[in-house]
Every structure is written in structure tokens, then in C-alpha cells.
Structure 1
Amino acid sequence: MPRPIVVVADHLAVTGGSARVAVESALGLAAAGHRVTCVGGSGTPDPRLAAAGIAARIVAPKGGGRLDAIWNARAGRAVAQALAEAGPGAIAHVHSWGQSLSGAALAAIRDADTVGVVTLHDYLSVCPNGTFFDFSAGAICTRKPLSGACIARACDAKPYPFKLMRLARHAATHRVGRLFEACPDAIVLSALHRDAIAPHVPAHVRLHRVGNPIDVRAPDGPPSPRAADAPFLFVGRLTPEKGAIVLARAAAQAGLPVAFVGDGPEAGAVREAAPHAQMLGWQPPERVSELMAQARALVFPSLWYEGQPLVVLEAQALGTPAVVSDACAARDAVRDGETGMVVPAGDVDALADRLRRLAQEPDLASRLGAAAEAAFRADPPSLPAHVAALETVYEVAFAEQAGDGAGETAGAKAHRRAARERAVAAKAG
């Protein structure tokens, strides 16, 4: 049934994956008949929101800087006002809060006695740096979040004082904002994402698997044959956890052409490891699609628990096979040897071997690409399908939370009862 929905996200312009999903799901929900309002933390809202009749309230920054990420009282007031205006039956759907909205936005949802749902786009809900990745070691972190070993470890990509700030943000999110009391229904993006998060959330939290939507136009006519010297392609930030340096070394070892779309602090190291590489920087989406369609294969060598790498699905939609690491959720989207290849994360020799094979056997690359495209088209992760899955989650959340469902903790139930009593008293007064 149509409901008032308040979408909460740090950014309401497409500045990254979670922001894109927040904006596009808001548009899809509005198209499905829901009354959608958005609250964002900074920037100018995507103009498509206003065109669709979606009101967007921005909590303009006032110089708080990083302190806003720890506790932004203005954001809490903005969310509270949006929920009050939404009226009875509203659902708050949180996509992000860690950069500007803070735990204050979560506290507003909890205090309003509103049904809350959160999409866990990364691991910020359970890991202070949000990645389960130790940047000092260049490897996945297996320490228990907030244990003594976790707190003491300088795992962040930045100096240790930034880790302290992230610890403070984490404490505010859980001890004051009480994320999982505000939003006991949480969306994960993939099986790997669920398995990484599940051990670290309270028992009452209901985890729902809903993949992100993707819209890739099918190419007109049959795909053009790949050139004999078609490069292998990387698309993404050039940061340590993305593993671009692994691909650079593998391509250099195999003596094969490679192109990198993106930029970041590892750009110099990538260029040094593979002097022959094409360093293309960031490109418009249309150009990225062209490069994907022309590539020998997309390579996704991520070293961390990436929840749902959309670039792999985009390549598959274009008939380009993907070579992915076994550390990230891209492995869930690839059947090794059938629709692509899966390699051990960080293994330069293994990756170089797969690249050589694809270069030496063009028929293999074509077969894998065709199978990948067929698998994608058989069950495309479209926006309407995404919205339908969200509506199912909302109905479960509403039945459980609005009805004091058995899954909630006693503390959460008591808090909701008290909030309802305060609301009744305020109206009576």
C-alpha cells in the first residue's frame, strides 16, 4: 500500500554509490505512488527529485566540519520535522548518516516512534572505519569491532587521530542515536555483505537482502568484435582497498594492455607498476560504457568485502566478461569459468595467468561475455524490481515495528511505548 516515506541520506546528489541509490529509489518509490520526502546533509539535491514532485530538505552546514559527523543536532531537528509532516504510517529509510547527518538523525527517528529501515551500503554500522579493511596492513581486518585490539590499531587510511574521530562517531551512532533501535530492519546488498555484518548486529535486527538497482541500456544490434589488442579495464577509485595495483602488476607481468578509469592516491603507484597503462581518469558514464563494451574484460581486483560492485553488473549487461577477486561480493555475480573468472584476492601471479588466457583465447572471452549478458538479462536488477523488493521490506517492518513485533528488544519496545505516550500527551495538551 502507498505510504509516506522519508528518505534520509548524507547526499541527495549522485556523488557515489549510496547517494545514487538513495536518489533513484526515491524516484522509483514516488513513481509507484508513495509520498516521498528527502532529507540530505549537504549539497544541491538532484534536480530529478523536484521534477518528480519530491520535496528535499537540506541541512546546510554551518562550519561544524567533522564534528557534524559525530553529532549534528540540526540534522536531528530536520528529520524530526520531516517525519512530523509525513504524518501517520510514515516510514523512515536511512541510506547514510556518517558524513554529516550523524546519529542525531537516527535519534530523531527513534524518538518519533516511526518505523525505521536502514540500507547498510557499507560496514559503517558495525566497523568504525566502515570497511573491515586494515589500510596499514593492506588486508581485510578480522579484529572484533570496538575490542581493545580494534581501538588500539591504527587501521585507517589517515593518521590515528582520524581513527579516534571515527570511534567517537561510532559511539554516538550506537549509544546515543541507537541505530538498531531506530532501524531494526536493515537491508544488505549481497550474501557476502550479510555474512560479514550478521555476527556484529543485535539478535533482534532483521536483515533483508535487496540488491541495488542498475539501468544499463542494451547495445543496439550485435556487439562489435573486440580488437586484437583490446585492453583489460579497471573502473573505480585508485585506492589501496580497490586493488588497482594488483592489476597493474599482473598486466605488466603478462605484457598485456590495460586501461584505468578513475583516480585517487594510488595513481602514481599504478603508473609506476605499469608504465604502458592508459590512465584515463574519471570519464562520463556514456564513455565508461563504451570502454567496457570494447574491453577484453573488466577486472575487479578488490581486496575488501565490497558489498555489491555495480560496475561488474554493468560490464555483464554489455556482454563483457569480468575477472573478479574472491574477497568481494562480485564473486556472487560471477560463475567461475562460465560467466567470468574468480581469482584469489591480491594474487598477482594468478591474475596474470587469467589475463594471458583471455588474451590468447578470444573465443573464450566471447563465450564468457555472452553467458554473462544472458545471465544478466534473465533477471535484470531494474529499478521497478528494486522498488517492489523495498515495498516488501516496508510491509514487514511496519507489521513488526508498529505492532511492537516480537523481534524487538525490551528496551526498544519500552522506548517506542514511551514515545507514543509523549505524543498522545502533547496532542492532549
Structure 2
Amino acid sequence: MGQVRILVVSAHYPPNLTSGGTLVPQRLARGLAARGHEVRVYAGHLGGEHEPLSVWDETDETGLDVRWISVTPFTAWSDPLNSLNPGAEEDFARYLDEHPVDVVHLHSLQTIGAGLVSVAKRSGAAVVVTMHDFWWTCARQFLVAPDMAPCSLVVSCGACPCAVDHAWLLDRNRALATHLQDADVVLAPSRSAADVMIANGVDEHRVRVDENGLPPRPASDVERSTSDELRFLFAGGPDPMKGLPVLLDALAEVPAGGWSIDLYGVEPQPRRVLGDHVRPRPSYAPDELDAVLAEHDVLVLPSVMRESHSILTREALGAGLAVVCTDTLGPEEVVRDGINGLVVPAADPQALGLALRSLVGDREAVRAMQRTAVDVRIRALDDQVTGLEDLYAELLDTAGALPAEPDPLIRRVLFVVGIQGAPLRYRAQLPAESLRELGVFTDVRHYRDPELPALAAVADAVVVYRVPATYEVLDLIDQVRARDRRVPVLFDVDDLIVDPGLRGSVHGLEGMSEAELDLWWRGVARYRTTLEACDAYIGSTAELCAEVGELTGMPVFRFANGVGAALAQLSERALARPRRPGPLRIGYFSGTTTHDADWALVEPAVVEVMQRHPDVELWLGGHLGTGPALEAVAARVRRLPMLPWTELPHRLRDVDVNLAPLVLDSVFNEAKSAIKWLEAALVATPTVASPTQPFRESIDDGVTGHLADAHGDWVEALERLITDEHHRTLVGTRARRAALLRWSPAHQGHRYREILVAAHRTVTSGAGERTSDWTPVATHEPLSAADAWVETYPPRAGRPVPAWRLKAVAARRVYRAGGVSAVVRRVTGRVRAR
């Protein structure tokens, strides 16, 4: 490519401040300049010798022009000027006026502020942002709370007080996000760091991975030591976010003898003596790294902070060391548990001590890890510079292209619902919550709400969730279609209860009389009638979408059940406490009465495992009929009553293994979502599940859960989870991460808006027009405020409201609106529906 004018921006820069995060922009700036590009640097400066926001220009030893701006007073994470700094924006705008460039590449921005992104965009340059840490979503940069506990990877799903408080953090992040929209491309140094930022709301279509490259290192003639002693290495210094306090607690649990550890950058601690084999060392110089690595066998990286990349991990593996790291993202991309190292939960000294003890007691395992360690790939700096050149050329080539067709405006969405409970929450309340995070106004109303016509008249999309056909609902859909502006009407249901042809193949209906079955299947026909009246279908699983698409011929869209902020926050609260003391526990929480056949599938395997392990308990929740085989372990079976969903995280937290069996070769079961895995994952409880498509999609077998088909598979999975504490813990923590990153509220909001935009284009283009031969089945249910109650979401703060109290409140509301006769009608209707 030809010469490009490039401005590299970084909050900190060598030699004023040298660290891994500051060396990267310096190396890139120099590498690009060496390729013949015109490169300048704009950088923050720390030091008390300059007035705040004063600026000056220097030329470094390689000839690069550097504009320094003094930012010393703004380093506090809680300082508003750390996030948005109008003074720095003004000088930056003047600098760009004086020195026009083609590309502005912004790196770390703490102290100079996110507003520089918008200033760069207004200058007419292509704008690239590299996120070296998590500052854009965590004011403390590393997703760790002030008490040194790891924060939720998705900040809206946690309650971290951050630098001020949680509400402050959310407001701050919304302000920063408006400026990030002006970036053409967002780069992250690892896939996992990119996934975190996407889960926190960054547009995935603009995110790319740009792994940090390392300059070539001279060939080393240092030979590895062959000492019989197992030598551990820690190089994180005294910063508690690097995990030194956790490491010291863990080392206290490792019996002395046959091992030692060098703690680089750590001063001796006279109050804490762990023995002569635990040796504080001064920090080593960069040119001493090869010699330091050669003197050790295992690098210990006990970080509590989330690491976006970790250069040291890669250097250690390349030098033939095994690595024990925490589950802090970047290191895990190259550390394979049990292959070239071990991965343990962050901030867990017990798990870290267990891992270190296992290595001390098995030198052959360490040698095997060392042999595979050198296989790690380390990206070269030259390759990273070439990648940036290609990216800049791409952005400049497309700068003059015609803008993309603007998306239809989706500003108001109306959800019309026909059911309460968990289905309502997952299919209406959570999408509404996610859309609100994107600035979309949403209403969730019962299908008998008298305000529906007025709300539908101004909505940009209407979603009808699990609503049985009434003449009033069908009229409402017709009214929406008669509007001057065509807007989509979509039907959503998360079970295959729209196909009367499945009569005789649905489990759980065996105890009904013929009259009750007729009434139940009439309800299915009414759901089908509402579906046929809509423009498109939204389903929770691939099987549901395929079945409904084939059944109706209408456009279908997939929207998987995801994580709601309220449940995630409750789960984080449950996760903060240890599991209830006692024996290991297997748990199965069936919920409804339709899971007896599913339980029968797994009961023999559970009994076999419990007989092998006399101290294991079984917890059964919900309405469930069990078989005679369970009598053999009846003394260790605990029956638990149904409970509000707000208490479910605590129950799931108290079991060690969660079960999710489903009868296979059932279209109805293949259409069920993986909620049982999702809810357990949020409290880091591992799940063993049947391999239906939704569970195969959610679970990476052996990594974020286990899939089991035959009897032997269930026994094998349960045995491993019960007997291997390290594996059980690691599977649980990885499941939690997968749930948060793949199905976060922000991720779900973007997906739902994409569906609504696509549906809008379908109805306005006429592509979804079709002729239905379905014979409608409907009844009259007049609009009535007394019957239009919808459960409150999110739940009220404090103790959850019991289900009986919610029903009493609803009955009182009905009585006030329509008297005793209205209450009788409501109760009769509910009985018939059931």
C-alpha cells in the first residue's frame, strides 16, 4: 500500500510509562513508520512537573513526533474526567486540524477520555479503537471488584460497585458507548476479550481480533536447569489484582519438600513466613527473561484481574514451562488444562493449592506438560503490523462507498402475551429488557388489556407471545395490518403446541380424560390460529423453527432463550456464598408434571452411581413420579417443593451436579430449549444433559457440561464430576462464562432488533405473502382490565413475593374491577385452561 498518514493515540506511552499495554502502541507506531508511513503519536503524560492539560511536542530517538498532554490529575478511576475529558478533546481537535491524517488508531483512553473517538470521526479520518483491557465497560479496567473478587463478565448481569457504585457504572458505560459508535473498527487482543466486549454491547459486526505480536528475540544460549526440585515462578509483583495474596494462601496448603517458588517483584513479608522454599525476589530486567525462565519448570499466573492477552504466558510456554493460570480469559487461549498446564478458578486459593499439590506429587505429569508447552504459537510483531496495514487500506478503500441502506426505525415494540411464569419471562420480558438497553421503548401487555389497540397503533413491531386466538386478538392483528405504515406482527411460542397433528405423541398428558384432552388440543388449535394470522414466527430452537416453517410456510426467525439481568444478578449473589455444607449432591428439578418419562431415562444411572458412592445425595424438585429403583437409595433422596424463580439460583448453587434428561427421538423434546443448563450455569453448577439439538448447541461436551445418551454415558459423566473436584469446578466456571458471553442481555438485544428489522423488510417487500388453508378456531374473550394482569418484572427488591400472594393481589384487583362474578369467571377460566 502507499504511504498513509497515521496518528497513534494512547493514554500512556514509553518512556513516561512502560508496561505491556504501552509497549504495544509504541511498537506498532515504530513498525508502521519503518514501513514508510507518516506516523505521529498523541499520548497522555504522568508527572507533577506539568500543568494539567498542558501540551508539548517531542521527537523520540527513532524520529517519531510525539504530542504529550499532561493527564496526571485524572488517573483516579472514579474521576469523571478519566472517562470523558472535554479539555483533552479540545486540544485533540486542534491537533488534528494542524496535522490532518488518514487513520486515527486509538489505544488506551483512560485519562484522556472516550470523546477522542468522536473527535477523530469528525476529522474525516478512518477510526480504529484497540481495547487493551476492559476500560470501556469497567472503570477499574480489569473486571475485578474493590474487594478483589472477580466481577461479572457482563456488567449489567452483576452488581459490582466499581469505582463509585453500580448505577454510576451503567450510566458511565452508556455515555462511552455513544462515542464508541463512531469507531469504524474495534480491535481486541484475543478472541475471549472480543467476546466480553460484544457481550457488553459492542456491535459484533465491527469487532475483530488483533492478537499482540512480539518482536523477534535473539537466539538464547541459556540452557534449562535439570534440578530434581520442582521450581515454580511467579512474576506478578505485589499488585493484589495479579493474585499474590491468593497465591500465598494457596502455598500455605502445599506441604514443603521437593519444590520451591520464586516471587519476582515481591518484597519479603516478615509477618508471613512460608519457609525458605518461598523466595521473594527483586524484579528482573527484560534482558534477563530467558535466564529466569530457564531456571524454572512451572509459571504460576494467579491473576484475579481479567487478562485480555498475557504475553508472559505465551513466552513461558514457548520456553518450555508448564503454566498454572486462573480462568481469566487471555491465558486460557493457550493453556490447555491437563495438556500443557492447569486452569483454576480466579480468587480461589483452595483450588489453586489443590492444583499445585497435584503437580508436586506428579513430576511425570509436569514433564509431559513441558513437552507440549513449546507447541504454542506466538504471533510476530511484523505480522501484526502487516495486518494493520491491510486493515487501514480496507477502511480507506471503502471510505467513499455509498452508505448502507438505513435500517427501518424500530423505536417502539409491543409484546402481547398470553401466559405467566418462566415462559413469559424468557420470551417477552427478557427481549423487552434487552431492547430497552438499546434505547427501544417496549410494552409487555396481556392479550385482554383494553389499552392494546392504542399501543398497537403506534408500535413499530408487534410480537404476540403464546396467545390463544380470540376474535378480539384477531381484530387487533387486522387493525395493525390496516395501518398506513406497514409494521410486522410476529408470533412467538417456545413449545411445539401449534400442531394438532402431534396428538398422541406428547408426554405428560396420559392422565387426562378424553374430554380434557379435547379441551387441551382445542387450545393448540387456537394457538395455531393466532400463528396463522401473523406475518412471521419467532422460535427458541432450531427444531421449533424448522417444524413451524414446514407447517405454515411462513418466515421464521430463531431467538434463543437467554440471560436476564435480574436472574443473573440473583445468581451472582448465590455464587458469592459457598455451597451448603454436606455431602455431594445430584439435583434434578423438573418443574412441571410432564417430566416423568424424562426422569425414568436417567434413574437407573443415578441409582448405580449413588450405590457406588454412599455419601452422595439426590435432590428432587417439582412434581415428579419416580420408579421403584430409587427405593434402594431412598434414605439419601430429598424431595423439595416448588419455589419462586427468584430462589432457584440458591437451590442450584447447593447441588454439585445438575441433571437435564430428555427422551430422545421426540420432536416435542427436540424443540425444548436448554434453560436447565443455562440456569445452572449461571451459578457455576455443571450439568449432564441429553444430546438434543439445543443442549448440543449450548454444551461443549466435557468443557462446559456433559452430554449423555446411553446408560453408560450417564454413569461415566456422573462418575467424573463426582470424583474429580478440579474438573467439576472448571466445568462449572466455564459454563457460567459461556452462558454470560453467548446470551447476555446486550447480545440478545442486538439479535432481537435484527429479527424485527428483517421482519419489517419482509412485510414491506411482500416477500412473506402466503395463502393459508388453516380453518380458524377462536372464541370471544372481551378486553378487560380485570383480567389483564402481567407479572412484575424485574422482581421487587428484597425478599421475593410468594406465588400465593401474587395470586391474591390479582384476585383482589379482579374483584374491585368486576365483583364476585368476575372472580368466579377468572377461576373457571383458569381451571379450563389447565
Name the CA distance, whole Å, in 1 between partners of 2:83 and 2:408.
27
Q: Is the 8 A contact 2:150 2:347 kept in 1?
A: no
Residue 19 to residue 220, structure 1, CA distance change in 2 (3 Å): closer
- Name which of structure 1's ranges 275-284 and 12-21 shifts more when overlaid on structure 2: 275-284
Q: Is the 8 A contact 1:250 1:351 kept in 2?
A: yes
Structure 1: any 5+ residue segments left out of the alignment? 412-429
Q: Which amino acid aligns with 2:201?
A: V
Could you say which residue in structure 2 is the equivalent of 1:423? Answer: none
Q: Is the 8 A contact 1:117 1:397 kept in 2?
A: no
Residue 27 to residue 359, structure 1, CA distance change in 2 (3 Å): same
- Name which of structure 1's ranges 215-224 and 293-302 shifts more when overlaid on structure 2: 215-224
Q: Is the 8 A contact 1:303 1:328 kept in 2?
A: no
1:405 Cα deviation from its structure 2 partner:
5.1
Residue identity (%): 23
**2:271 maps to 1:261:** no
Residue 43 to residue 64, structure 1, CA distance change in 2 (3 Å): closer
Alignment of 1:363-382 (within 5 A): 363-373=364-374, 375-376=375-376, 379-382=377-380
Name the CA distance, whole Å, in 1 between partners of 2:332 and 2:74.
40
**2:359 maps to 1:358:** yes
1:272 Cα deviation from its structure 2 partner:
2.8
Name the CA distance, whole Å, in 2 between partners of 1:83 and 1:346.
44
The alignment partner of 1:118 has SS state of strand
1:71 Cα deviation from its structure 2 partner:
4.1
Could you say which residue in structure 1 is the equivalent of 2:396? Answer: 398
| Counterpart pick for 1:76 among 69, 86, 89 | 89
1:194 Cα deviation from its structure 2 partner:
1.5
Name the CA distance, whole Å, in 2 between partners of 1:386 and 1:49.
24
Q: Is the 8 A contact 2:212 2:384 kept in 1?
A: yes
Could you say which residue in structure 1 is the equivalent of 2:383? Answer: 385
**2:113 maps to 1:102:** yes
The alignment partner of 2:66 has SS state of strand
1:184 Cα deviation from its structure 2 partner:
3.1
The alignment partner of 1:39 has SS state of strand
| Counterpart pick for 1:42 among 27, 33, 45 | 45
1:407 Cα deviation from its structure 2 partner:
9.6
Name the CA distance, whole Å, in 2 between partners of 1:216 and 1:12.
21
The alignment partner of 1:27 has SS state of helix
Q: Is the 8 A contact 1:218 1:318 kept in 2?
A: no
Name the CA distance, whole Å, in 2 between partners of 1:79 and 1:283.
37
Deviations 1:168-227 (A, max 9, x none): 86565345xx1231x131101112112211122343751110111224636534732342
The alignment partner of 1:97 has SS state of coil
Name the CA distance, whole Å, in 1 between partners of 2:406 and 2:372.
44
Q: Which amino acid aligns with 2:107?
A: H
Q: TM-score, normalization: structure 2?
A: 0.42
| Counterpart pick for 1:91 among 103, 108, 119 | 103
The alignment partner of 2:129 has SS state of strand
Name the CA distance, whole Å, in 2 between partners of 1:118 and 1:401.
17
Q: Is the 8 A contact 1:140 1:303 kept in 2?
A: no
Residue 245 to residue 43, structure 1, CA distance change in 2 (3 Å): closer
Could you say which residue in structure 2 is the equivalent of 1:414? Answer: none
- Name which of structure 1's ranges 18-27 and 104-113 shifts more when overlaid on structure 2: 104-113
Q: Is the 8 A contact 1:219 1:318 kept in 2?
A: no
**2:132 maps to 1:131:** no
Residue 367 to residue 86, structure 1, CA distance change in 2 (3 Å): farther
Q: Which amino acid aligns with 2:389?
A: E
Q: Is the 8 A contact 2:222 2:290 kept in 1?
A: no
Q: Which amino acid aligns with 1:155?
A: C
Alignment of 1:126-165 (within 5 A): 126-136=137-147, 138-141=149-152, 144-145=155-156, 150=159, 153-156=160-163, 160=164
- Name which of structure 1's ranges 305-314 and 232-241 shifts more when overlaid on structure 2: 232-241
The size of the alignment, in residue pairs, is: 391
Alignment of 1:218-229 (within 5 A): 220-221=220-221, 223-229=223-229
Could you say which residue in structure 2 is the equivalent of 1:341? Answer: 342
Alignment of 1:157-306 (within 5 A): 160=164, 170=173, 173-175=176-178, 178-181=179-182, 183-203=183-203, 206-215=206-215, 217=217, 220-221=220-221, 223-254=223-254, 255=256, 256-263=259-266, 272=272, 274=274, 276=276, 277-306=278-307
Residue 61 to residue 164, structure 1, CA distance change in 2 (3 Å): farther
Residue 55 to residue 222, structure 1, CA distance change in 2 (3 Å): closer
Deviations 1:33-61 (A, max 9, x none): 2211000111599xx97233211111135
Could you say which residue in structure 2 is the equivalent of 1:416? Answer: none
Residue 401 to residue 186, structure 1, CA distance change in 2 (3 Å): farther
The alignment partner of 1:303 has SS state of coil
Name the CA distance, whole Å, in 2 between partners of 1:230 and 1:49.
48
Residue 143 to residue 186, structure 1, CA distance change in 2 (3 Å): closer
The alignment partner of 2:220 has SS state of coil
Name the CA distance, whole Å, in 1 between partners of 2:272 and 2:169.
32
1:401 Cα deviation from its structure 2 partner:
4.9
Alignment of 1:404-415 (within 5 A): 406=404
Could you say which residue in structure 2 is the equivalent of 1:52? Answer: 62
Name the CA distance, whole Å, in 2 between partners of 1:185 and 1:128.
22
Name the CA distance, whole Å, in 1 between partners of 2:237 and 2:383.
28
Q: Which amino acid aligns with 1:403?
A: A
1:404 Cα deviation from its structure 2 partner:
5.8
Residue 332 to residue 87, structure 1, CA distance change in 2 (3 Å): same
Name the CA distance, whole Å, in 2 between partners of 1:18 and 1:408.
37
The alignment partner of 1:38 has SS state of strand
Q: Is the 8 A contact 1:401 1:408 kept in 2?
A: no
Name the CA distance, whole Å, in 2 between partners of 1:216 and 1:68.
38
Residue 135 to residue 279, structure 1, CA distance change in 2 (3 Å): same
1:116 Cα deviation from its structure 2 partner:
0.5
Q: TM-score, normalization: structure 1?
A: 0.78
The alignment partner of 2:135 has SS state of coil
Residue 394 to residue 273, structure 1, CA distance change in 2 (3 Å): farther
Q: Is the 8 A contact 1:128 1:167 kept in 2?
A: no
Q: Is the 8 A contact 1:324 1:343 kept in 2?
A: yes
The alignment partner of 1:227 has SS state of coil
Residue 82 to residue 34, structure 1, CA distance change in 2 (3 Å): farther
Q: Is the 8 A contact 2:148 2:241 kept in 1?
A: no
Q: Is the 8 A contact 1:27 1:49 kept in 2?
A: no
Name the CA distance, whole Å, in 1 between partners of 2:390 and 2:107.
17
Residue 380 to residue 336, structure 1, CA distance change in 2 (3 Å): same
Name the CA distance, whole Å, in 2 between partners of 1:410 and 1:129.
37
Name the CA distance, whole Å, in 1 between partners of 2:301 and 2:72.
39
The alignment partner of 2:82 has SS state of helix
The alignment partner of 1:102 has SS state of coil
Residue 274 to residue 405, structure 1, CA distance change in 2 (3 Å): farther
Residue 344 to residue 51, structure 1, CA distance change in 2 (3 Å): same
Q: Is the 8 A contact 1:39 1:78 kept in 2?
A: no
Q: Which amino acid aligns with 1:259?
A: D
Q: Is the 8 A contact 2:225 2:294 kept in 1?
A: no
- Name which of structure 1's ranges 25-34 and 208-217 shifts more when overlaid on structure 2: 208-217
1:122 Cα deviation from its structure 2 partner:
0.9
Q: Is the 8 A contact 2:308 2:330 kept in 1?
A: yes
